[in-house]
Amino acid sequence: MSQLRIRVLVGLFLAAGVISWAGARLWDTMGTLPSVPVAAPIVLGLIAAVLAATALSMRSRLRAQRERRPGATGVNPLMAARAVVFGQASALVSALISGMYGGVGLFLAMNELDVPPRRDQAIYAGASVVAGVAVIAAALFLERVCRLPDDEDEDRLTA
């Protein structure tokens, strides 16, 4: 399984941001702009919390297994692989969603902060970007926790 690259995530974020900013400009010329849902930052925050909790749980279980504590339960490799795949998929989708809300939020911040509903939309968009970055950070942490020690040695040899 290949490791997530921060360059790819940043590229997705920037591309989605530019496209959504341009789309928001175009859509606004028609007189309306789609709203940013209030639930967007909440859902992204919940996904970040689940990823972080999974990473912390696996880290403590792996540490207990490595230290050979009595009664320590190991981590099923298939479960760890599934968690990493979920984290990677979440990070990629979160980069796109955060870029999209970032572009809309930037458009609103540049033009419409004096109108209360638009200001609220800009706040929701900003909160969505922050929550999306939290998802990415939690996914990268989970990937780091589930990384095998042999993987680090192979990376050093190929670099």
Domain ranges of the chain: 39-148
Tell me the one-letter amino acid at 45.
G
* Residue in the block written with tokens 């980069």: 95
Closest CA to 121 of 29, 44, 33: 33
Give the pTM: 0.85
Assign 104 a pLDDT band (cuts: 50, 70, 90): very high
Task: Give dist(CA 93, CA 153) in Å, integer.
Answer: 30
Q: What integer pLDDT is reported at residue 88 of this predicted model?
A: 94
**Alpha carbons 127 and 129: distance in angstroms, whole number:** 5
Note the pLDDT tens digit of each residue in 7-60: 999 999 999 999 999 998 888 888 777 788 999 999 999 999 999 999 999 888
Tell me what pLDDT residue 158 has.
Answer: 53
Contact call for residues 76 and 57 (beta carbons, < 8 A): no
Q: Could you read off the pLDDT of 105-147 as tens digits, one per residue?
A: 999 888 867 878 888 889 999 999 999 999 999 999 999 988 8
Condensed to tens digits (0 to 9), the pLDDT of residues 146-158 reads 886 665 555 555 5
- Stated as kind and residue range, the H or E segment containing 73 is none
Q: Which amino acid is at 49?
A: A
72: buried, middle or exposed (CB in 10 Å: 19+, 13-18, 0-12)? middle
Residue 146 CA to residue 1 CA, distance in Å, equals 11
124, 100 contact by CB (below 8 A): no
**pLDDT tier for residue 63 given thresholds of 50, 70 and 90:** confident
The residue among 79 and 10 whose pLDDT is bigger is: 10
Q: Which of 30, 44, 28 is nearest to 126 (CA)?
A: 44
